[in-house]
Amino acid sequence: MSNLLPQFIQQLANGLTLGSIYALIAIGYTMVYGIIGMINFAHGEIYMIGAYIGLVTITAIGVTAGYPLPLVLGGALLVSVAVTGLYGFAVERIAYRPLRGGPRLVPLISAIGMSIFLQNYIQIGHGSRDISVPALVSGAVEFQLAGSFFDITIPYSRVMIFGATFVLMVALTLFIAYSRMGRACRACSEDMRMANLLGIDTNRVISFTFILGAMLAAVGGVLIALAIGKLSPFIGFIAGIKAFTAAVLGGIGSIPGAMLGGILLGLVETFAAAYLPAEYKDVVAFALLILILLFRPTGLLGKTNVEKV
């Protein structure tokens, strides 16, 4: 009985960690959907690319060369964020921009093609097998009450995920609320044509949205790679669908919704995995997605829309 509380807190920590990753990726989906009404199917692969670039950077800097951890980690994050952001930019320019304004099916299919392309592109460069990630961040936070079963271990790598996500979420919220570009983003997601007529460079805003989403996903990718200790080119697909579920759960188009949805999905999935056979936990995410879309398609923080005829 006394095991229950520490186990619960342990799972809570795991759930928050997982949820943070989902939130980071989900923001990319929700921002793009909010602004151009398209599901960026390739976004999951962008997350995976971010992880790989982080690993390449870490390997390039060389773990054993004795460089201090913050430098290696910071360097990996910086490089990954920059390059992955560039990938986000490139994908939009190449595969989506030429298709804007046409029937909705067309960019979606292009996105699927892009997703397949990117996944195989990474496989050509880095192979299709799992690659291990050096454990840069070791050690954990431990709570232990002497003489009882109360024992919680939260690895620093996971704390870092939650911490980084929290900081980024706050920064993003402030940015969207108070900066010029943030205002432009909000204007474009409300009414693109009007924003254009008012002189906002909508192309730049759209590119910015893709870049920002990719950057956040990259942070998630690098950190989770460090936490889990291995990488494969296939993590993008599942993570992408789940992050999209999170975005829908929170209300597609709403950034706080993506954050909330991500955390919630992470918690639900972690607790479900604790009580269901492990293989079924993926089913939980899909089932949740279907349920939300059936019963509350606007999500938790979204607004109900009456379709104007």
Partner 1 sequence: MTKNLLEVSNLQMRFGGLLAVDQINFSVRKNEVFSVIGPNGAGKTTVFNCISGFYKPAAGSVVLDGVHIEGLPSHAVAEKGLVRTFQNIRLFKDLTVLENLLVAQHSQIKTGLLQGLFATPSYRKAEHEALKNAAAWLHRLGLTSVANRGAGTLPYGHQRLVEIARCMITKPRLLMLDEPAAGLNPQEKIELAKLIDSLRTDFGISVLLIEHDMSLVMEVSDRILVMEYGRAIATGLPLEIQNDPRVIKAYLGEE
Partner 2 sequence: MNQDSNASAASLHTTTTSISVAKGKSLRADVLGKNLKSAFVASVITIILTTPVLGLQLKMVSYKVVLEQHWMPVWLAATAVFVFQLLRPIWLVNRSAIKLPSVPDLNAHRQKAIIQALLVLGLIFPFFASRGAVDVGTIALIYIILGLGLNIVVGYAGLLDLGYVGFYAVGGYTYALLNQHFGLSFWQCLPAAALVASIFGFVLGFPVLRLRGDYLAIVTLGFGEIIRLLLNNATNVTGGPDGISGIPKPTFFGIEFARKASVEGTKTFHQILGVDYSGSHMVVFLYLVALALVTFTLFVTSRLIRMPVGRAWEALREDETACRSLALNPTKIKLSAFTLGAAIAGLGGAFFAARQGLVNPESFTFIESALILAVVVLGGMGSQLGVVLAAILLTVLPEVARGFDEYRMLIFGLVMVLMMIWRPQGLLPACRPHVELPK
Residue among 240, 237, 59, 24 at smallest CA distance from 133: 59
* Euclidean distance between CA atoms 268 and 233, whole angstroms: 25
* Contact call for residue 95 and partner 2 (CB under 8 A): yes
Q: Residue 306 binds what, of partner 2, partner 1, none (CB under 5 to 8 Å, by partner type)?
A: partner 1
Residues of span 289-308 touching partner 1 by CB under 8 A: 303, 306
120 to 149: interface string for partner 2, x by CB under 8 A: xxx-xxxx-x-xxxx---------------
- Only one residue has tokens 């067309």, namely 106
* Contact call for residue 105 and partner 1 (CB under 8 A): no
SS3 263: helix
* Contact call for residue 198 and partner 2 (CB under 8 A): no
40 to 79: interface string for partner 2, x by CB under 8 A: ---------x--xx-xxx-xx------------------x
238 to 277: interface string for partner 2, x by CB under 8 A: ---x--x---x----------------------------x
* Euclidean distance between CA atoms 159 and 140, whole angstroms: 9
- Closest contact distance (angstroms) between CB of 306 and partner 1 is 6
* Euclidean distance between CA atoms 172 and 166, whole angstroms: 10
C-beta of residue 231 within 8 angstroms of C-beta of residue 122 = no
**Non-local CB neighbours of 24 within 8 Å, separated by 6+ positions:** 165, 168, 216, 217, 219, 220, 262
Q: Residue 279 binds what, of partner 2, partner 1, none (CB under 5 to 8 Å, by partner type)?
A: partner 2
* Euclidean distance between CA atoms 273 and 15, whole angstroms: 10
What does the DSSP assignment read for 27-46?
HHHHHHHHHH----TTHHHH
Tally helices (H) and strands (E) across the chain. Answer: 11, 4
* Euclidean distance between CA atoms 304 and 255, whole angstroms: 16
* Contact call for residue 278 and partner 1 (CB under 8 A): no
* Contact call for residue 104 and partner 2 (CB under 8 A): yes
Q: Residue 57 binds what, of partner 2, partner 1, none (CB under 5 to 8 Å, by partner type)?
A: partner 2
Residues that bind partner 2 (CB under 8 A): 38-39, 49, 52-53, 55-57, 59-60, 79, 83, 86-87, 90, 94-95, 98-99, 102-110, 112-122, 124-127, 129, 131-134, 237, 241, 244, 248, 277, 279-280, 282-283, 286-287, 289-290, 293-294, 297, 309
Residues that bind partner 1 (CB under 8 A): 303, 306, 309
